[in-house]
Each structure stands twice: as C-alpha cells, then as structure tokens.
Amino acid sequence: MPQNSIVSTEKICTHINSQSILKNVSISLGRGRVVGLVGPNGAGKTTVMKSILGLISVDSGSIFVEGQQVTPQHHSIIKQKVGALIEGPAIYPFLTGFEHLKMMTNDIGQIISFSDQLGLTKYLPKKVKGYSLGTKQKLGIVLALINDPDLVILDEPMNGLDPQSTRQLRNLIQKLSKNGTTFFISSHILSELEKIIDDVIVLDSGKVTLSTSLEKLYQESTRKLVIETSAGSVEINNEDFSQLNNELIRLIKQRVKINNIRYRPSDLEDSLLKYLDDHNQEEN
Ligand SMILES: Nc1ncnc2c1ncn2[C@@H]1O[C@H](COP(=O)(O)OP(=O)(O)O)[C@@H](O)[C@H]1O
Ligand SMILES: [Mg+2]
C-alpha cells in the first residue's frame, strides 16, 4: 500500500447471485484527498463502497483501511475512523433529526455547526417521517460527518439536493478536506463532482477504467478553439492549425462574418472521454 494512502483495495472481486459484480478492483485513496468514484448506474460504485466498509464480503482480494485489513468480521477501524452515507441513510421515522444525531455524539456544538452549514437546523426538532428526500439526505450527511472521521464515504450525496444545498455541501467538504479529512464520493453525474474532487476513479461494469488526478487529466486534455460566425459556431482542437487554416479559408470564401474567436476550457467530461479514447487507441 502506498505510504500516503488511507484506503487501498487489492484486486477485489465479488459476485451477487452468479453475476460477477467487481472484477479485480484495485484502488488507492490518498490521505486528505477528495476522490470521486464515477460511472454509470450499475457500474458497481455502491458495491465498492460497501466492500471498503466491511458491509459485504469479497470473493478474493483484500481491503486495507489505515493499514488494517477490513472484512465483515473485522471492521473496528471503520467504527473508529470512518463516517459513511450509503444508499440513503438508515433512519427511524418517528425520531427527530436531533434525536438521530444525539445518538452519535454529545457534542451539541458540532451537531449545530454541521446542520447550520447544510441548512438543516430548522428541521432538527421535527420527526424524520415528514422530511423530504433532500432533508433526509442532509441528515445522513451530517451523521457521516459527526465525530471527526478521518475518512468520509458518501454514496451519491447530491441525490435529492437542490442547487443551493449542493453548493453548501461542496463548501463543507472543501473546508473539512483542508483540515485533512479524506473524502470518497460517488456520483453518476460527472459535472457534480468536477468542482470538488482532486482525484477521479472511473468504474465501468465492475472494472476500474481510469484512476488519476484532475490535474493530470486536464494537462492531457486539449482545449477547443471556438470560432463564432454569423452562420453558427465551429470548434477546432487547440493545436490543429491545419484544421484552423482550412476553416478560416472556407469561412472567408463564403464571406461569412467572424464575430469572435475564443478558447473553451475543457470540462471533466470532455477530458475523461478524450483520455479514455486515447487510452483505448493505445491498447488496440
Ligand atoms: N442486492 C442485489 N441483488 C442483485 N443484484 C445487485 C444487488 N446489488 C447490486 N446488484 C447488481 O450489482 C451491480 C452493481 O450495483 P451497484 O454497486 O449498486 O452499482 P452502482 O452503485 O454503480 O449503481 C448492478 O448490476 C446491480 O444490478
Ligand atoms: Mg449506487
């Protein structure tokens, strides 16, 4: 296991019924990093997270958290150091939000502080059965954050959150990660994670297809040059000057008016697609 990583899995495989779900998944989460786990629905994101938490057993391979091996029988390290929200929080409908949090800690200051930052405070005295999906989700997130875990695992935490709440969550994650907390966050929507993650792991059909830092991803991706004309806009790869020349000649010949030429920075989705594309070409 790399020295600076808080979690690592080594070639974990698991199946449900007779279907293979995870296929040799080896990942490593750097300490203090915010790591995104992205992939389409059914890719195995929740299964990876459950395995790391010792909630399900794996057929082969091993999982280490803080250097200690985790299995469904041995997971005391998880209780001590890890907070998690998996597939919506486990909640008691007839207890209030506050009563849920009070079961986890006596530190009322911490309860109020996290609840304030996510806009949950006014719902705390109310019974959870009346909560909206988003409010339940916020309660689950606060439950995961309480007691200063070293690692926080959040499975699709933005589910049900409105844009303002998503921003509040982003700010809170950024603040905690600056103080050294490691985050492992899944989403099937790339753009949701783009603003908060340092590293990205892509999972597809139970296999890791990419694991890299965003910094590297952006370095390798090309920006686009956008030519806006009276007849619509044309996109050109940043460094493709022959394409640029041909396009300009064509536009001028047709007497199309050029209104603007600008760079469009690539977003995470562009970069990922390009990376995967290049990668496949190398393999073929
Ligand atoms: N309890 C279960 N019973 C049967 N199949 C399951 C169960 N849980 C997960 N699966 C299957 O495992 C695969 C991965 O699921 P999951 O880890 O939930 O993916 P993700 O979180 O990326 O959407 C999917 O094909 C899903 O149908
Ligand atoms: Mg899932």
Transcribe 128-162 into DSSP letters. Answer: GGG--HHHHHHHHHHHHHTT--SEEEEESTTTT--
How far does the centroid of ligand 2 lie from the alpha carbon of residue 131, in Å? 22
Conformational region of residue 253, where left means phi above 0, alpha means psi within -120 to 50, and beta covers everything else: alpha
Helices and strands (H, E) in the chain, number of each type: 10, 13
How do the pLDDT tens digits run along the chain, 284 residues long?
A: 455 899 999 999 999 898 999 999 999 999 999 999 999 899 999 999 999 999 999 999 999 999 999 999 998 999 899 999 998 778 899 999 999 999 999 999 999 999 999 999 999 999 999 999 999 999 999 999 999 999 999 999 998 899 999 999 999 999 999 999 999 999 988 888 988 999 999 999 999 999 999 888 877 776 788 899 988 898 887 778 898 899 999 999 999 999 998 887 667 777 777 777 666 655 54
The pLDDT assigned to 281 comes to: 54
Ligand 1 atom with the smallest distance to the CA of 39 is: 22
**Which residues does ligand 1 sit against, CB inside 6 Å?**
16, 21, 39, 41-47
For residue 156, how far is its CA from the centre of ligand 2 (angstroms)? 7
- For position 188, what pLDDT does the model report? 86
Cα 200 to Cα 45: distance, rounded to the nearest angstrom? 13
pLDDT of residue 237: 79
CA–CA dist 101, 103 (Å, integer)? 5
Residue 274 DSSP one-character state: H
pLDDT at 280: 60
User: Structure tokens of 3?
Assistant: 């020295």
Q: Quickly count: other Cβ atoms within 10 Å of residue 134's Cβ.
A: 18
Q: Which two tokens stand for residue 115?
A: 């609840």
For residue 284, the model assigns a pLDDT of 47
Provide the edge-to-edge strand list for the sheet that holds 82-85: 82-85, 151-155, 182-187, 34-38, 199-204, 207-213
| pLDDT for the residue numbered 3 | 57
From CA 156, how far away is CA 61, in angstroms rounded? 25
Give the CA distances from residue 150 to residues 114, 117, 227, in Å, rounded to whole numbers and listed in that order. Answer: 16, 19, 48
The predicted structure's pLDDT at residue 85 = 96
CA–CA distance from 84 to each of 45, 61, 196, 220 (Å)?
14, 22, 18, 33
Tokens matching residue 70: 């985790």
CA-CA-CA-CA torsion for 168, 172, 178, 182, nearest 10 degrees? -120
Phi and psi torsions of 130, nearest 5°: -90, 0
Query: Of the ligands numbered here, which is closest to the C-alpha atom of 39?
Result: 1
Which residue type is seen at 172? L
Task: Find residue 208's DSSP bridge partners.
Answer: 203
* Contact present, 137 and 89 (Cβ < 8 Å): yes
pTM of the model: 0.85
Residue 49: Cβ within 10 Å count: 23
Give the Å distance between the CA of 191 and the centre of ligand 2: 17
Q: How many CB atoms lie within 10 A of CB 190?
A: 20
Could you tell me if 143 and 98 are in contact, meaning their C-beta atoms sit under 8 angstroms apart? no
Name the nearest CA neighbour of 127 among 96, 100, 89.
Answer: 96
- Both structure tokens of 264: 């469009």
The Å distance, Cα 84 to ligand 2 centre, comes to 13
Which atom of ligand 1 lies closest to the CA of 48? 17
